[in-house]
Structure 1
Amino acid sequence: MRWSVVRLIAAREVRDQLRDRRTLFLILGLPVLMYPLFVGVGILFVTALKEKKLVVGLVGVEHLPRAEADLAPVLGGPGGAAQRLRAYPSLLGPDGQFAPAYATTALDSAPLRAQPLDAATDEELTAHLASRRVDAIVVIDPGTATKLDRDERPTVRVLGRDGEENSKLAVQRITSVLQKWADDVKGARFARRGLPPNFDKPIEIRDPQSEKTSEKKIADDLRDMLVKVIPFLLVMWMLTGAIYPAIDMTAGEKERGTMETLLISPAERTEIVAGKFLATTCFSFGTAMWNVTLMLVAVAVAPLLAPGLFGHGLISIAGLAACILAAVPLAMLFAALALSLGIFARSTKEGNYYMVPLFFVVLPLAYWSMTPGIELDGFTRWVPMANALLFQQRLMSVRPDAFPWQHAPAVFGSLSLCVALALFAAVRQFHREGVLFRESEAGGKGGWSLFGKK
């Protein structure tokens, strides 16, 4: 194989593709439009969530315990701290809204607004929910304060609309508020019996999540999502960057009638395939580099837009840059597969049809690599494409443990084997006259296709 001829053919194919505005838009222009769109939609989502208020109707507010209503000693005198512990906490503040200690709004939560309701029957409660005046309803058991004083167990019901997102969110938020309040009520009951508030928790368990702030927890969740989503996006863009040039270099040349001119040139058919493969790989890999560049810009700009949320080191910048190296074998694999299918097609339209099975193979493997708990191990390192995605995920992860470099030879070795097999299939088809000179769809009759005899 003469590499000078391969480079000449590859340069010619790259030059022709750079003149195609459709290919340039799909590879360069579309990501520039999509990433700001994703960021804008995310900002609009958070803004809309912050501005939206979930209304919770309260029935039986008068039955709630009043703070310190049953305490005789003055709180500032001796034993004031003990008296404060013995006092039942108030669910509502002086303004009639939920006490800030229980209804503190998190970064990803809409604020709650309490609204007293006059309803005596279940039909009236259902009517309030159906009218959408409230998103959820809290029904306080009559005599709740008295039952607490008698060490009884009153009931607090939470009602919502089935199958409605706002109501579901409101029910979750108010249930969390009530749970916090119930824990404080339990502590006050213990104090009245002369027991410490944490009497029912003889052992204190500290886990990593309990010591994190809500902002840090949200940042961790966002980081875990980005580590899995970014490699998936890279794979989809690389596949797109390989498909359209490969179809145009193969089936497109058949339609334009330039394939015969290329075949009568002094270049061997293996050299022609190698040149087209190199050009397709460049476009696929270039798409990955372009998307990584845009992601680096997004990671650099995100802390400036939301320092409270993005100031915890979401992903490893060096790992994101290193994903470029892991993208090389994937770009080669997609280029070889797309060329093999494109050579078989007789037209660009048929070539697009043949690319659909490629997506059916790539997508399940990509989704499998995003499964929680899946990491590089003795089995996954041999699964083509999924192992590269897991390798990229590990590169971007901000973790204290050592990187599993022992899996790298198996990852790149299995991908290299797949690339070799796909290239062998492409070269084999390029040597078959029946494949290269099949009648076009508009030409003869009875041509054979992957989907059957025409």
Structure 2
Amino acid sequence: MRWPVVRLIAGREVRDQLRDRRTLFLILGLPVLMYPLFVGVGILFVTALKEKKLVVGVVGPGHAPAAEPDLTPVLGGPGAAAQELRAYPALFGPDGQFAPRYTGTALVSAPMGVEPLPAGTDDEYRELLAQRRVDAIVVLDSDLPARLARYERPEIEVPVAVGTFPVATTTVPVDRGARPAVRVLGRDGEENSKLAVQRVTGVLEHWSNDLKAARFARLGLPADIDHPIEIRDPQSEKTSEKKIADDLRDMLVKVIPFLLVMWMLTGAIYPAIDMTAGEKERGTMETLLISPAERTEIVAGKFLATTCFSFGTALWNVALMLVAVAAAPLLAPGLFGHGLISLAGLAACLLAAIPLALLFAALALSLGVFARSTKEGNYYMVPLFFVVLPLAYWSMTPGIELSEFTRWVPVANALLFQQRLLAVRTDAFPWGHVPVVFGVLAACVLTGLFAAVRQFHREGVLFREGETSGKRGWSLFGKK
């Protein structure tokens, strides 16, 4: 194989593709339009979520315990701090809405509004939900404070009388009866109601924890008596913004390789079709075949040109990602100040994409030369998407990583390798899997090139314009 001839053919194919406006738009222009569109959709989603107000109907808001401290003396005498701890927390604020301390401070959350409702039957509550007047209903029993008070003292003193004269006292347990209950109702199978039920349930759980702490304080017990041990996990010391940033980084680790694969596949398909089936339509394939270049050199030149466009698409998309990351602090400085993307990891991920560009170029070239026309070539590329997409989605499965099995799966092994490069982890890098990953990809590339070379050596594949469906067909590796 003469490499000067290969370079000459590759340069000629690259120049021809650079003159094609459709190819340039699909490779360069489409990502420029798509990324702002994705960002705009995300901003619209967050804006719509924040503007949407979830209406929660509350039956009996006045039945909630009053936010007043219990000043009953306890052993040792209560100080100001003890009296504050013994105060029942207020579920509702002065404006009748849920107390701000319970609604949370999530960066992306729909606000909740409280609408008082009269007491009624369950059928009436379901009718209100069906009419969409409210998204969820909270029912507070009228004897809620009384039932809570029964738990404030484990036992009471009862006088013991002889005849009609009390002579002593004894202690008996308090009959507490059933625990007080707060019911939450919602619509089945409806997204807004489901979200409202989740939000209001979180509010009630937070309020219940504060009620429990106040009850312990009233009984003279430490507020953390029901926690025999203190569990300290890595997430407990992080702020909400840092937790969201970590989740976003974990998502980007999986999404970035997936996007690169999809764009590289797109960047390989259209040039490969135009270099093969397109030349058949234009009649320039014969001119190339009668040149002094060998068939293998022709395939190698077209393969290098297709690889350049495939990998160039990856470079262009990474540049757009860097622009988006650079602009992100201007949009949300509190969220993107934690280093979401490592530039070193992104550069390594980009280098690891070269074998994938070679693979897609070889596969697209072998399929493109088999087609009679560009229209037929586009049809042949559909199965390629159907093979690559499931493998790419599989690599995004939570918990999956490079292992003794996944390293043998083409495309997925390269994506898992790229994810490991982007991830910020302290454990050892799985270098033992890398030779197998690149060996499998190299075998797939050689197989695709072998199929393309075999077809370029068969005149019936290269000149099939007049072939009818009743004549002998061809496969990728020869006659049927």
TM-score category (smaller protein)? over 0.9
SS at match of 2:334: helix
CA RMSD across the alignment: 2.0
Pairing 1:105–2:105 present: yes
Q: Aligned-pair distance for 1:308?
A: 0.8
CA distance in 2, matches of 1:6, 1:357: 29
Which of these residues, 235, 258, 262, is aligned with residue 284 of structure 2?
Answer: 258
1:365-401 CA-to-partner distances (Å, cap 9, x unmatched) read 1111101111123332222211111111112122233
Which residue identity lines up with residue 107 of structure 2 in the other structure?
Answer: L
CA distance in 2, matches of 1:204, 1:190: 18
In structure 2, what is the equivalent of residue 234 of structure 1? Answer: 260
Q: Aligned-pair distance for 1:289?
A: 0.4
In structure 2, what is the equivalent of residue 347 of structure 1? Answer: 373
In structure 2, what is the equivalent of residue 35 of structure 1? Answer: 35
Pairing 1:184–2:195 present: no
Which residue identity lines up with residue 102 of structure 1 in the other structure?
Answer: Y
CA distance in 1, matches of 2:68, 2:466: 89
Which residue identity lines up with residue 428 of structure 1 in the other structure?
Answer: R
Which residue identity lines up with residue 322 of structure 1 in the other structure?
Answer: A
Which residue identity lines up with residue 4 of structure 1 in the other structure?
Answer: P
For residues 10-409 of structure 1, the aligned pairs below 5 Å read: 10-68=10-68, 70-71=70-71, 79-151=79-151, 152=176, 153-409=179-435
CA distance in 1, matches of 2:333, 2:432: 37
In structure 2, what is the equivalent of residue 431 of structure 1? Answer: 457
> 8 Å contact 1:292–1:321 — kept in the other structure?
no
Of stretches 10-19 and 377-386 in structure 1, the one that deviates more from structure 2 is 377-386
Q: Aligned-pair distance for 1:69?
A: 6.3
1:15-52 CA-to-partner distances (Å, cap 9, x unmatched) read 11111111100000000000011111111211222222
1:242-289 CA-to-partner distances (Å, cap 9, x unmatched) read 011111111111111111111111110000000000110011010000
> 8 Å contact 1:249–1:276 — kept in the other structure?
yes
> 8 Å contact 2:185–2:197 — kept in the other structure?
yes
> 8 Å contact 1:439–1:447 — kept in the other structure?
no
Q: Aligned-pair distance for 1:357?
A: 1.2
CA distance in 1, matches of 2:326, 2:428: 26
Of stretches 117-126 and 5-14 in structure 1, the one that deviates more from structure 2 is 117-126
CA distance in 2, matches of 1:175, 1:53: 16
> 8 Å contact 1:315–1:398 — kept in the other structure?
no
1:98-137 CA-to-partner distances (Å, cap 9, x unmatched) read 1121112311211222111124112221222122222111
Alignment size in residue pairs: 449
For normalisation by structure 1, the TM-score amounts to: 0.94
Q: Aligned-pair distance for 1:351?
A: 1.1
1:131-161 CA-to-partner distances (Å, cap 9, x unmatched) read 2222111111221011100124111111111
SS at match of 1:94: coil
Which residue identity lines up with residue 264 of structure 2 in the other structure?
Answer: M
Q: Which runs of 4+ in 1 moved over 4 A?
A: none
Q: Aligned-pair distance for 1:329?
A: 0.6
CA distance in 1, matches of 2:243, 2:404: 31
CA distance in 1, matches of 2:193, 2:10: 59
> 8 Å contact 1:251–1:348 — kept in the other structure?
yes
CA distance in 1, matches of 2:440, 2:313: 23
Which residue identity lines up with residue 287 of structure 2 in the other structure?
Answer: T
What is the aligned-residue identity percentage? 81
In structure 2, what is the equivalent of residue 448 of structure 1? Answer: 473
> 8 Å contact 2:367–2:381 — kept in the other structure?
yes
Of stretches 209-218 and 176-185 in structure 1, the one that deviates more from structure 2 is 209-218
Q: Aligned-pair distance for 1:407?
A: 2.7
SS at match of 1:310: coil
SS at match of 1:113: strand
> 8 Å contact 2:348–2:421 — kept in the other structure?
yes
CA distance in 2, matches of 1:330, 1:59: 61
CA distance in 2, matches of 1:423, 1:446: 27
**Which blocks of at least 5 consecutive residues in structure 1 are unaligned?**
none
Of stretches 228-237 and 86-95 in structure 1, the one that deviates more from structure 2 is 86-95
> 8 Å contact 2:70–2:83 — kept in the other structure?
no
> 8 Å contact 1:347–1:440 — kept in the other structure?
no
Q: Aligned-pair distance for 1:404?
A: 2.9
In structure 1, what is the equivalent of residue 157 of structure 2? Answer: none
SS at match of 1:102: helix
Q: Aligned-pair distance for 1:406?
A: 3.4
CA distance in 2, matches of 1:347, 1:450: 16
CA distance in 1, matches of 2:382, 2:475: 12
CA distance in 1, matches of 2:134, 2:242: 32
